[in-house]
């Protein structure tokens, strides 16, 4: 019999690295430097090295990372920011919070990421930035997007909350990590993310020295030196305990990604001969770090499948049931009917299966077996 299945199993992951984590936390407790302790700088340096980027600015969470990046661009009310509607709400929310206007564009049905043609059509004289989202652990096709942005002199702010560790390959053979290709990259260390803290956390990356300095100030009350405040900023810090934990987990990130990829391969093989299921597309230009393993199923069967799996003790999630443009908070934003067709089509079909670093073969076989059963013999002859 297999151990209980969760969408994300943080407990079993912790148990394996408990000694290192507990030591890292005690070190902070010994010194009581809870804010701006040496652990924060150490983690930022190590992450900078891992990502091969010039500056890493830790902050309180991924939403703040996006907000600080957009504050640094000095958006004016009414400025337009192009972003997908098929994303977590935070991406679009910070744009509206700063009184700019999110311009939602459609995604590609295979990658679930920004559709280049749609971005191109959405650019107007009021456009001030493009915010692509590396959804579910796979990179946006960045090379053509960066070329388009450059042609229009638009900064690209990458939402890398779900894809830390993903590598993008350019046509010339060079490679870069997601979050380091645009002007600014933003990531989240929410516990269930691929590099997760034991609380909230986030970071901002850039190769631009002046922008890095500005964002560091914004994240710390616009302060240039202690008690001298040059800009209106906010209070957004990664605390020392979270940094210490993240520094331990960063050492395991590539191993964790490999475990996710292995689980994804096992799912792929298990579903290969079920025509009703579309397994995640693997783009040729990047690795996939499988923050989520998201399949597409016929919309009329999705609820029944989810319910059937739940009865077997198999949790699943729908990311995202309501795209941003259909959220109440954006009900006053005009958008062109049918311009987000793929987004709406995906919302009706996506189903994310349990995916984490501790998923074992017995659990996966159980999940695969029940999904197979649903689409073949046992279902729909249920009692
Ligand atoms: C998680 C997430 C965020 C926000 O990160 P928090 O740390 O929860 O604030 C932003 N964008 C995307 C795509 C995310 O998945």
62 alpha carbon to ligand 1 midpoint, in Å?
5
Alpha-carbon gap, residue 378 to 366, rounded angstroms: 15
Closest residue (by CA) to atom 5 of ligand 1?
Answer: 62
Q: How far is CA 154 from CA 40, 182, 208, 214, 285, in A?
A: 32, 10, 15, 19, 23
- Model pLDDT for residues 305-317, shown as the tens digit of each residue: 999 999 999 999 9
Pairing, β 184-188 against β 202-206: antiparallel
Predicted pLDDT of residue 23:
98
- Alpha carbon 294 to its chain centroid, in Å, reads 14
| pLDDT higher than 70, residue 382 | no
| pLDDT higher than 90, residue 5 | yes
Lining residues, ligand 1, CB within 6 Å: 61-63, 87-88, 90-91, 133, 159, 161-162, 188, 190, 200, 202
Predicted pLDDT of residue 335:
67
- Model pLDDT for residues 62-117, shown as the tens digit of each residue: 999 999 999 999 999 999 999 999 999 999 999 999 999 999 999 999 999 999 99
User: Mean pLDDT across the chain, nearest whole number?
Assistant: 96
Q: Which of 13-17, 227-231, 353-357 has the lowest mean pLDDT?
A: 227-231
Among 8, 61, 62, say which to mutate for ligand 1: greatest number of ligand atoms within 8 Å of CB: 62
Global pTM reads 0.97
Among 58, 63, 352, say which to mutate for ligand 1: greatest number of ligand atoms within 8 Å of CB: 63
* Res. 162 pLDDT band, cuts 50 70 90: very high
Among 85, 102, 188, 197, say which to mutate for ligand 1: greatest number of ligand atoms within 8 Å of CB: 188
> What is the Cα Rg of the chain in Å?
21
102 alpha carbon to ligand 1 midpoint, in Å?
17
Q: Please indicate whether residue 180 or residue 332 has the higher confidence score (pLDDT).
A: 180
Q: How far is CA 153 from CA 11, 70, 73, 80, 228, in A?
A: 46, 16, 13, 14, 33
Q: What mean pLDDT is predicted for residues 144-149?
A: 98
- Model pLDDT for residues 117-146, shown as the tens digit of each residue: 999 999 999 999 999 999 999 999 999 999
Predicted pLDDT of residue 31:
95
Predicted pLDDT of residue 383:
42
* Res. 380 pLDDT band, cuts 50 70 90: low
- Alpha carbon 227 to its chain centroid, in Å, reads 35
Domains of the chain: 10-250 (3.40.640.10), 253-378 (3.90.1150.10)
Contact 164, 189 (CB under 8 A): no
Alpha-carbon gap, residue 105 to 115, rounded angstroms: 7
Predicted pLDDT of residue 381:
47
Closest residue (by CA) to atom 10 of ligand 1?
Answer: 90
* Res. 339 pLDDT band, cuts 50 70 90: confident
Q: What percent of the chain has pLDDT over 90?
A: 94
Alpha-carbon gap, residue 140 to 179, rounded angstroms: 11
| pLDDT higher than 90, residue 1 | no
Predicted pLDDT of residue 270:
97
Length in residues, the chain:
383
Predicted pLDDT of residue 300:
96
Q: What atom of ligand 1 comes closest to residue 61's alpha carbon?
A: 7
Q: How far is CA 28 from CA 36, 182, 262, in A?
A: 11, 34, 35
| pLDDT higher than 80, residue 272 | yes
Alpha-carbon gap, residue 188 to 185, rounded angstroms: 11
Predicted pLDDT of residue 278:
98
Helices (H), the chain: 10-16, 18-31, 38-51, 62-72, 89-97, 116-122, 142-151, 209-219, 240-271, 299-311, 341-347, 361-375
* Res. 379 pLDDT band, cuts 50 70 90: low
Predicted pLDDT of residue 188:
98
> Is residue 133 classed as helix, strand or coil in its secondary structure?
strand
Token pair for 171? 């046509």
Q: What atom of ligand 1 comes closest to residue 162's alpha carbon?
A: 15
């Amino acid at each position: 019999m297999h151990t209980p299945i969760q969408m994300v199993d943080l407990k079993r992951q912790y148990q394996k690295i408990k000694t290192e984590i507990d030591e890292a936390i005690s070190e902070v407790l010994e010194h009581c430097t809870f804010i701006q302790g040496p652990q924060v700088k150490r983690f930022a340096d190590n992450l900078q090295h891992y990502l091969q980027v010039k500056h890493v600015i830790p902050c309180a969470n991924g939403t703040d990372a996006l907000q600080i990046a957009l504050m640094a661009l000095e958006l004016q009310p009414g400025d337009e920011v192009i972003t997908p509607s098929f994303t977590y709400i935070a991406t679009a929310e910070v744009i509206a919070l700063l009184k700019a206007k999110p311009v939602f564009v459609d995604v590609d049905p295979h990658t679930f990421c920004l559709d280049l043609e749609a971005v191109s059509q959405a650019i107007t004289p009021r456009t001030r930035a493009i915010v692509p989202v590396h959804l579910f652990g796979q990179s946006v096709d960045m090379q053509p997007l960066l070329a388009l942005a450059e042609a229009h002199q638009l900064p690209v702010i990458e939402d890398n909350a779900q894809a830390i560790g993903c590598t993008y390959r350019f046509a010339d053979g060079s490679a870069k990590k997601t979050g380091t290709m645009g002007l600014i990259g933003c990531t989240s260390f929410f516990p269930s993310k691929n590099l997760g803290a034991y609380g909230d956390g986030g970071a901002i990356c850039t190769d631009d020295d002046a922008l890095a300095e500005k964002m560091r100030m914004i994240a710390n009350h616009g302060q240039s030196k202690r008690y001298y405040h040059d800009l209106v900023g906010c209070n957004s810090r990664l605390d020392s305990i979270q940094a210490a934990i993240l520094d331990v987990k960063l050492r395991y990130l590539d191993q964790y990604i490999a475990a996710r990829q292995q689980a994804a391969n096992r799912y792929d093989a298990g579903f290969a001969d079920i025509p009703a299921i579309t397994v995640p597309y693997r783009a040729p230009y990047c690795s996939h770090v499988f923050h989520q393993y998201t399949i597409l199923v016929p919309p009329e069967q999705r609820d029944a499948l989810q319910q059937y799996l739940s009865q077997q003790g198999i949790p699943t999630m729908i990311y995202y049931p309501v795209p941003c443009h259909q959220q109440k908070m954006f009900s006053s934003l005009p958008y062109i009917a049918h311009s987000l067709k793929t987004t709406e089509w995906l919302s009706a079909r996506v189903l994310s299966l349990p995916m984490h670093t501790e998923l074992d073969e017995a659990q996966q076989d159980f999940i695969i077996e029940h999904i197979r059963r649903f689409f073949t013999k046992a279902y729909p002859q249920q009692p």
